[in-house]
C-alpha cells in the first residue's frame, strides 16, 4: 500500500484514512534490525546525465519519507511549488520546516524529533501519509555542512516502518554564491542593504579570503557540494538520493524522474508543463515585487569575481562529478 511522506521536498497527508493500529505499525521500529532506517527497494536506476544523477524509481513496499536537502538559490522554491500542484502533494504550513537540522524550527516544537510521530505532530498537525499523497517540506539548509550530520542523525532517530528517499538541487556554485548575496541586498538584510554591485563584489572577495583561511562563510561554504554529499552517502545508498540539475528543472524528463523517485503518479506532459509554467510565473512575479519594495536591482557579479569563485570551487566540483558519475553540468560562471 503506497504512501509517501516528503520532508524538504515533500510532506503532508490526510490522517482520516489511517486507523490507529496502522499508525502504530508505521511507528514501529524493526526489532530484528534495532530500529534501522529502511531504504526502498530499487526497481531501476536512472541514468546520470545532464538532467539528474543517482536516484531511481522505486517500488512502494512500505510508506515512504522523502527529504529535500537543498540548496539555497538552487531553485528549491520553484521545485516545491511545482510539486505542490500535484494532487497527491499536500502543503502544510511553511515550505521550509527547519526541524531536522536544528536551524530555527518553523514547526510547533523547536525540535529535534524524538520519533516519526513527534515529527508529524510537530510539523504537520498530526497528519499522516495516506495512499500516494506527499507531504512537503523543502529546507535548503538541510544539505549544508552545518546541518547535514544533524539531519542524518535525526532521520535515523525517527526510523519507523517507512522508507526514506531524498532530493538535492544543484547549480553552478559560483553563480549560486553571487545569487545568494544578491538576495540579501534584495531583502535589505544586514550590511548588504543599499549596496552597489562593486561593494558586493568586495564582500564576496573578503568571504573568499576567509574561506581559503579555513573559516566557514555565509555565501561561499554552501557551494562546496561534494563534502556534505559524501557525509550523507556514508549512511544512505546512492540510489536513495536524486540529484537534480537546477538548469533542467523546466524539463519534462526531470520532473518525470522526480515523480518516479518519490512514487508519485506521472501526469500527461501538458499538465506537468502547466504546473512548471504556473510556478515559474508566480516566482518571477514575486521577485519583481521584492526588488520594487527595496528599490534594488539584481546583482550582477563582475566576471573577475565569478572567475575567482570558479577557481575556488574546482576541486569540489571535480569530486562532485566523480561521485555523481556524470559529465560536468557547468563550466566557469
What tens digit of pLDDT does each residue of 70-90 get? 899 999 999 999 988 998 876
Which three-class secondary structure state does DSSP give residue 167? strand
Rounded alpha-carbon distances, angstroms, from residue 22 to 15, 25, 120, 130, 257: 11, 5, 15, 11, 29
Half-sphere exposure of 72 (CA within 13 A, CB side): 19
Q: Mean pLDDT in the chain? A: 83
| Burial of 315 (C-beta count, 10 Å sphere; 0-12/13-18/19+) | exposed
Q: What is the pLDDT of residues 255-297, one digit of tens each?
A: 999 998 888 889 999 999 999 999 999 999 999 999 999 889 9
Please determine, for residue 135, whether its predicted confidence score (pLDDT) is greater than 90: no
Which three-class secondary structure state does DSSP give residue 166? strand
Determine contact, residues 65/133, Cβ cutoff 8 Å. Answer: no
Size (the chain), residues? 333
Please determine, for residue 12, whether its predicted confidence score (pLDDT) is greater than 90: no
The pTM score is: 0.85
Q: For residues 232 and 236, what is the distance between their CA atoms, to the nearest angstrom?
A: 6
Query: In the chain, which ranges are E strands?
Result: 4-7, 42-45, 52-54, 56-58, 64-68, 163-170, 241-245
Pair type for strands 56-58 and 42-45: antiparallel
Please determine, for residue 62, whether its predicted confidence score (pLDDT) is greater than 70: no
Residue 156: band (very low, low, confident or very high) from pLDDT cuts 50, 70, 90: confident
Whole-number percent of the chain with pLDDT over 70 = 80
Amino acid at each position: 500500500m503506497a504512501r509517501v511522506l516528503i520532508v524538504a521536498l515533500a510532506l503532508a497527508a490526510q490522517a482520516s484514512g489511517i486507523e490507529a493500529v496502522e499508525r502504530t505499525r508505521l511507528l514501529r521500529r524493526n526489532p530484528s534490525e534495532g530500529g534501522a532506517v529502511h531504504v526502498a527497494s530499487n526497481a531501476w536506476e536512472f541514468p546520470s546525465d545532464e538532467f539528474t544523477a543517482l536516484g531511481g524509481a522505486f517500488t512502494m513496499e512500505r510508506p515512504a519519507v522523502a527529504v529535500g536537502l537543498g540548496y539555497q538559490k538552487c531553485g528549491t522554491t520553484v521545485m516545491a511549488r511545482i510539486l505542490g500542484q500535484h494532487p497527491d502533494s499536500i502543503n502544510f504550513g511553511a515550505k521550509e520546516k527547519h526541524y531536522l537540522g536544528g536551524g530555527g524550527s518553523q514547526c510547533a516544537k523547536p525540535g529535534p524529533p524524538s520519533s516519526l510521530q513527534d515529527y508529524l505532530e510537530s510539523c504537520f498537525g498530526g497528519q499522516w501519509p495516506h495512499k500516494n499523497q506527499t507531504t512537503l517540506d523543502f529546507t535548503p539548509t538541510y544539505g549544508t555542512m552545518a546541518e547535514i550530520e544533524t539531519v542524518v542523525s535525526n532521520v535515523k532517530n525517527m526510523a519507523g516502518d517507512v522508507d526514506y528517499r531524498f532530493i538535492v538541487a544543484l547549480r553552478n556554485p559560483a553563480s549560486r554564491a553571487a545569487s545568494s548575496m544578491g538576495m540579501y541586498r534584495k531583502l535589505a538584510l544586514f550590511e548588504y542593504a543599499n549596496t552597489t554591485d562593486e561593494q558586493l563584489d568586495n564582500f564576496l572577495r573578503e568571504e573568499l579570503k576567509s574561506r581559503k583561511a579555513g573559516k566557514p562563510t555565509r555565501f561561499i561554504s554552501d557551494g562546496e557540494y561534494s563534502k556534505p554529499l559524501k557525509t550523507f552517502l556514508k549512511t544512505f545508498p546512492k540510489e536513495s538520493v536524486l540529484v537534480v540539475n537546477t538548469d533542467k528543472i523546466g524539463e519534462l524528463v526531470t520532473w518525470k524522474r522526480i515523480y518516479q523517485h518519490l512514487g508519485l503518479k506521472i501526469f500527461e506532459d501538458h499538465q506537468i508543463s502547466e504546473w512548471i509554467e504556473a510556478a515559474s510565473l508566480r516566482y518571477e512575479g514575486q521577485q519583481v515585487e521584492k526588488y520594487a519594495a527595496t528599490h534594488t536591482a539584481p546583482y550582477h557579479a563582475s566576471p573577475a569575481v565569478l572567475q575567482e569563485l570558479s577557481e575556488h570551487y574546482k576541486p569540489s566540483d571535480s569530486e562532485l562529478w566523480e561521485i555523481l558519475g556524470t559529465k560536468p553540468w557547468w563550466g566557469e560562471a
